[in-house]
A and B are shown apart, each in its own frame.
Chain A
Amino acid sequence: MKNLLAKINVLPAKALVLLIKIYQRTLSPDHGLFKAKYPYGFCRHYPSCSEYSLQSIEKFGAIKGGYLSVKRIVACNPFTAPKIDQVPNNF
């Protein structure tokens, strides 16, 4: 059962990772074409939201990683203090 679940989890994760990578090479203000506009970075946290999402989805799959990603992006608003926020080791 656990094996099956892991397999189902892998495909959407790969698709999401690809989408994030495309985003990072194009629109992303931290990694993409417009990077030069923000010499001190755009995202208020470290690593950037897209990088965090990429790592968490690679680490925990689409569902858990996706949840972590959404949580992170919601926390990236003008009312939260910037912080060093690495992907957790277990989740």
Chain B
Amino acid sequence: MFLTLYNDIIYRPLLNLLVYFYNIIPGHDIGVVIVLLTILIRLILAPSFHKSLKSQKAMSDLQPKLNELKEKHKNDKEGHAKAMMDLYKEHKINPLGSCLPLLLQLPILIALYQVFSKALNNHLAGLYSFVQQPEFINPKFLGLVDLSKPSLAFGIAAGLAQFWQSKMMMPKAGVAQDATAKAMQLQMTYVLPVISVIIAIKLPAGLPLYWIVTTLFAVAQQYYIIRKQTDERK
């Protein structure tokens, strides 16, 4: 039941959207379609963008207090959670994290990945009657790179983009962090991009392309938040 739901509600609409874009875009470039579709989905998935900006801003203003609480309730997780919740209530902050939206996004991102990988191999089963099936999807991006074959350059670029993103997300100095958190942070910044490269250079280059675009989107989002924060502090 879950599989049919996933197929009908998420996978097929995305596949049809992709083929539709491919049909109408001048030059019929699957690479351009991947870039466009990725940006479109990221935009749709960020409706609470403004809201989370506001709440992130409020959180960073409260950082000293939050760190104080963290120190005070070091060995009492529940007490710490309770104290943070009271602080949020007091300042009328809606914390940005919540699990339901996260869990709803995951299948969409997985389906997007699947759609790209199928389309690059010309597996187009599941088109709606009003979407014309192209004779053949040309896997060349800008006439240069064959996106259905692995590419070293794209794999490395994906790793670099990820490195840039996690470097940017590193909490600034002064945030209380224990040793494990610090180790995790290092792992995330330096080890994960390397693993990404190792995986990405073996995949059809269209998938690292999707990876690059989605990471750069997150970087742009983050950059916007940071700039906005410094503007308001001035």
On A, residues with C-beta under 8 Å from B are 27, 29, 33-44, 46, 48-50, 73-74, 76-78, 80-84
Contact = CB atoms under 8 A, between A and B. Distances in A.
Contact of B184 (A36, A40, A84): A36
A44 B181 contact: no
Contacts of B88: 82
Given A36-B188, A82-B88, A84-B81, A76 B98 contact: yes
Contacts, number: 78
Given A78-B101, A82-B85, 12 more contacts: A27-B106, A33-B188, A34-B188, A35-B181, A36-B184, A39-B175, A39-B177, A44-B99, A46-B77, A77-B98, A78-B94, A82-B95
Contact of B101 (A39, A77, A81, A84): A77
Interface of B: 48, 51, 59, 66, 70, 77-78, 81-82, 84-85, 88-89, 94-103, 106, 169, 171, 175-177, 181-182, 184-185, 187-188, 192
Nearest to B169: A37
Contact of B59 (A40, A44, A83): A40
A35 B185 CA distance: 8
The residue in B95, B103, B169 that gathers the most chain A C-beta atoms within 10 A of its C-beta is: B95
Contacts of B181: 35-36, 39
Nearest to B101: A77
26 contacts: A33-B188, A35-B181, A36-B177, A36-B182, A36-B184, A36-B185, A36-B188, A37-B169, A37-B188, A39-B70, A40-B70, A41-B81, A41-B84, A43-B97, A43-B99, A46-B82, A48-B99, A50-B99, A73-B99, A73-B100, A76-B100, A77-B100, A78-B101, A81-B89, A82-B85, A84-B85
Contact of B97 (A27, A44, A74): A44
A40 B171 contact: no
Given A29-B97, A46-B78, A40 B192 contact: no
A68 to B, nearest CB: 14
A73 B175 CA distance: 29
A39 B171 contact: yes
Contacts of B176: 39
A78 B51 CA distance: 10
Contacts of A41: 81, 84, 97
Contacts of B103: 73
B170 to A, nearest CB: 8
Nearest to B184: A36
Nearest to A50: B99
Given A46-B77, A73-B103, A83-B85, A38 B187 contact: no
